[in-house]
Structure 1
Amino acid sequence: VSIPFKIGQPKKQIVSKTVNMKKSTEADLAMSKAAVKISADLLNNPLCEQDQAFLESMTALDTAMKRMDAFNQEKVRLLPITTIFFHCIIYFSHSVSHLNMAVKRREQALQDYKRLQSKVEKYEEKEKTGPVMVKLHQANEELKPVKEDFEAKNKQLLDEMPKFYQSRIDYFQPSFEALIRAQVVYFTEMYTIFSDLTDQIDPAGLTDEQRQRETEAKLSELRSLSIVAND
């Protein structure tokens, strides 16, 4: 008798944990909090009392960092996309758990089927005496419902597992799309904040290359001072 394929237990977790997504959100909040702390420290620097232009730049930076932090807080409160995404993964994980239970039930049915099939084959190999034929008949009767149970469970998995596997993309696609749209909103707002900051602290509108040359020139002036050690 040919026994259909055996489904083994998955060796790795099929659905990854939501820890990384949660850490990403927490990292955004921690980053903006740290940026606010840095800008506040710079604003309290004694140089701000001595140089009006530096004070204005640090004030603009402090305002921008506070805007960024406020938006991060608002994003967590008003855009529960991450929470929805968590729930989707958790629900899908539960579905996988139910599938694993069905696999275990199918595996148990297979073992019962194989055990009784071996019993039938043992009697079939013996001499066909009256008592043996009676026991063979009893074994076949015992095997019949077990075989039907296994075949039903096996057919159900054969029908449903491909559908379940194919549905994973359709299931997660809307959540991924919502998550991406939320990120677009986030980075668009960040671009606006830092563009406004650039306009305030760089009214000359220098290009990146020009700004790099200007920075290098100032660094060269510092390196030329006798009190600065050479690397």
Structure 2
Amino acid sequence: VENWTADSAVKISADLLSNPLCEQDQAFLESMTALDTAMRRMDAFNQEKVNQIQKTVIDPLKKYSGVFPSLNMAVKRREQALQDYKRLQSKVEKYEEKEKTGPVMVKLHQAREELRPVKEDFEAKNKQLLDEMPKFYHSRIDYFQPSFEALIRAQVVYFTEMYKIFSELTDQIDQAGLTDEQRERETEAKLSELRALSIVADD
């Protein structure tokens, strides 16, 4: 929205500056030149603010969200390891329940040997997630805090500069010595002149 406003303001000031009235009225030309300069300054500060927000807020957020696919993949790998572990554990338990004959004991030994690396793999994956997920979750505040502060600083700098620009613009185009009451009376007088024109319909 602010980008659109800044672009529109620059376009409006440029259009006013090219108005034929600028050739006829030196005071109007000076006012429109001051307005055009102010709008271009406003646009430059707005673009700088957008660039800063991109670098300090949007890019870090994209980088942070880029971690989630790898976390999801780690969770899936841990789930697959769990399924393999359960399947082989069930196989071991089945042989343990059978009568302890020679062939059964051989198969039980083979099943236990097959289970061992799968169990170790699952426990390693599980431990890694149990260690890293809480750290990742608790680090989110520390990660986002600088971005949040940068966003506030960018807004403060931008609106401080806008205040300066429009204060200077007001000083440049305002008629010296007029009070708000006098300006209001002058505006009303000009509006009365407009209403007096035959092409202006009465309400």
**TM-score, with length taken from structure 1:** 0.69
Deviates more, 1:128-137 or 1:171-180: 128-137
Residues 186/126 of structure 1: CA separation in 2 closer, same or farther (3 Å cut)? same
- Separation (CA, whole Å) in 1 of partners of 2:101 and 2:202: 104
Q: 1:185 aligns with which of 154, 157, 164?
A: 157
Structure 1 pair 160/70, CA: closer, same or farther in 2 (3 Å)?
closer
CA deviation after TM superposition for structure 1 residue 162, in Å: 1.0
AA aligned opposite 2:124: A
More helix by share: 2
Measure the CA separation in 2 of the matches of 1:71 and 1:161. 41
Contact 2:85 2:122 in 1 (8 A): yes
Cα distance in structure 1, aligned partners of 2:167 and 2:88: 76
Deviates more, 1:170-179 or 1:196-205: 196-205
The CA deviation string for residues 124-172 of structure 1, in whole angstroms up to 9 with x for no partner, is 4444443233322321222122112212211221121011011011012
**Would the alpha carbon gap of residues 60 and 126 (structure 1) be closer, same or farther in structure 2, given more than 3 Å must change?**
same
- What's the counterpart of residue 11 of structure 1? none
Q: In the alignment, is residue 56 of structure 1 matched against residue 30 of structure 2?
A: yes
Match of 1:35 among 6, 9, 24: 9
1:57-109: CA deviations, max 9, x gaps?
A: 32221121122234345x279x7553243442343234333323322221221
Would you say the 8 A contact 1:82–1:179 is kept in 2?
no
1:201 equivalenced with 2:173 (yes/no): yes
Q: Distance in 2 between matches of 1:168 and 1:176?
A: 12
1:180 aligned partner, one-letter code? I
Q: Give the 3 Å change call, closer, same or farther, for CA 145–212 of structure 1 in structure 2.
A: farther
Q: CA deviation at 1:119?
A: 1.8
- Residue 213 of structure 1 and its aligned partner are, at CA, apart by 8.5
TM-score by length of 2: 0.77
How many residues are treated as equivalent by the alignment? 201
Which of residues 39, 42, 45 is equivalent to 2:19? 45
Contact 1:85–1:175 at 8 Å: present in 2 too?
A: yes
1:65 and 2:39 equivalent?
A: yes
* Bigger relative contact order, structure 1 or 2 (CA pairs below 8 A, ≥6 apart): 2
Kept after mapping to 2: 8 A contact 1:120/1:139: yes
The 1:205/1:59 distance shift into structure 2, 3 A limit, reads: farther
1:212 Cα deviation after fit: 7.5
* Displacement after TM superposition at 1:53 (Å): 4.2
Contact kept? 1:199, 1:205, Cα under 8 Å: no
Q: 1: distance between equivalents of 2:19 and 2:40?
A: 18
For the 8 Å contact 1:109–1:146, the answer to whether it is kept is yes
In structure 1, list runs of 5 or more residues that go unmatched: 1-23
**More moved, 109-118 vs 175-184:** 175-184
Identical columns (%): 78
Q: Once the 2 structures are TM-superposed, how far is the Cα of residue 222 of structure 1 from its aligned partner? A: 4.5
2:56/2:151 contact within 8 Å kept: no
Larger-Rg structure = 2
Root-mean-square deviation (CA, aligned residues, Å) is 3.3
State the SS of the aligned residue for 1:164.
helix
Change (3 A) 1:215 1:151: farther
